[in-house]
C-alpha cells in the first residue's frame, strides 16, 4: 500500500475517477427542496453516467500497470530480485496492479458519496435513507471498481508481453471500446461482454444478480493468473 500511495499514477487515477463522478452528476435535476433519498439517487446517476463509463479504462491504466516496463528497462528489476524471490515479486506485483485499478474508483466513489451526503442530505425536505437504494449504489460502485481492477491487470499483462508503454496504456483502452462498439453496433444481445452492462447490471444475471459477482470473480482470478504466468516467464530472462 505504501508503494501504491506514493505512485503518481495512482493519485492521478483517483483525480480522474473523482472528476468522472463529478461530471456525471445530474446538477440540472437538482430542485429545492429535495425529496427523501434524493442524494442517493443523484449519486447513483453519477455512477451510471456515460462520462463515468468513458473514463473507466483511462483511470484504470494510470496506476502501476505499466510499471514492469519501467523496472525492467531501468535495471531496477535485477537489483530488486537480488533481495526477494521471484515468486514474492510476482505475487506482490500482481496484487499491486489489481489494487491499483480497484482502489482509485472505490476511494473516489466513497469520497463522492460523502460529498453528496453532507451537501445534499441536509437540503432534503424530510431526511430519509432507503437502504435498498443505498445497497444498489454500493453494488454499482463495487462493480466499477472490479472493472478497474480487471482492466489494470490487462495493462500489466500487455506491459509484460510487449515491454512497451504504449501497449500497456493504450491496448486496454482499445479492447474496452472494441467491446462497446461490437455490442452497440453489431451484437445488441451480447450483454455479457458489454462494459456498460457490467456497470448497470440491467439484464438477467441469475437470482439476485449473483451471476455478475461470479463473473467478476472468475475473470479477476483468470487475469491475475495470466499476469502471474507471463511475469514468471519474463523473469526467466533476468
Share the mean pLDDT of the chain.
88
| Beta carbons of 169 and 66 less than 8 angstroms apart | yes
Neighbours of 56 (CB within 10 A): 24
> Which ranges of the chain would DSSP assign to H, the alpha helix?
2-6, 8-23, 38-47, 50-60, 67-74, 76-81, 86-120, 131-162, 165-181, 195-200, 210-235
Total number of domains constituting the chain: 1
Domain that holds residue 51: 2-235
Q: What is the mean pLDDT of residues 49-76?
A: 85
Positive/negative CA dihedral, 103, 106, 109, 115: negative
Phi-psi category of residue 221: left, alpha or beta, with phi > 0 → left and psi -120 to 50 → alpha: alpha
- The predicted-structure confidence for 84-132, as pLDDT tens digits, reads as follows 888 998 998 999 999 999 999 999 999 999 998 888 888 777 767 778 8
* pTM, rounded to two decimals: 0.92
Rounded Cα distance, 142 and 14, in Å: 15
Amino acid at each position: 500500500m505504501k508503494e501504491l500511495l506514493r505512485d503518481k499514477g495512482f493519485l492521478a487515477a483517483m483525480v480522474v475517477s473523482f472528476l468522472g463522478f463529478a461530471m456525471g452528476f445530474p446538477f440540472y435535476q437538482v430542485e429545492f427542496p429535495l425529496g427523501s433519498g434524493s442524494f442517493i439517487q443523484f449519486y447513483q446517476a453519477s455512477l451510471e453516467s456515460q462520462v463515468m463509463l468513458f473514463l473507466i479504462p483511462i483511470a484504470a491504466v494510470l496506476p502501476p500497470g505499466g510499471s514492469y516496463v519501467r523496472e525492467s528497462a531501468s535495471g531496477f528489476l535485477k537489483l530488486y530480485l537480488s533481495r526477494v524471490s521471484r515468486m514474492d515479486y510476482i505475487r506482490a506485483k500482481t496484487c499491486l496492479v489489481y489494487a491499483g485499478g480497484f482502489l482509485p474508483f472505490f476511494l473516489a466513489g466513497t469520497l463522492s458519496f460523502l460529498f453528496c451526503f453532507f451537501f445534499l442530505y441536509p437540503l432534503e425536505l424530510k431526511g430519509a435513507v432507503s437502504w435498498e437504494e443505498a445497497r444498489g449504489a454500493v453494488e454499482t460502485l463495487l462493480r466499477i471498481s472490479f472493472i478497474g481492477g480487471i482492466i489494470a491487470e490487462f495493462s500489466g499483462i500487455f506491459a509484460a508481453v510487449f515491454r512497451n508503454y504504449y501497449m500497456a496504456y493504450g491496448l486496454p483502452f482499445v479492447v474496452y471500446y472494441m467491446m462497446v462498439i461490437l455490442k452497440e453496433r453489431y451484437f445488441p444481445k451480447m450483454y455479457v461482454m458489454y462494459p456498460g452492462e457490467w456497470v448497470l447490471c440491467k439484464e438477467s444475471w441469475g437470482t439476485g444478480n449473483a451471476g455478475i459477482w461470479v463473473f467478476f470473480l472468475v475473470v479477476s482470478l483468470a487475469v491475475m493468473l495470466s499476469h502471474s504466468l507471463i511475469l514468471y516467464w519474463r523473469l526467466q530472462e533476468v
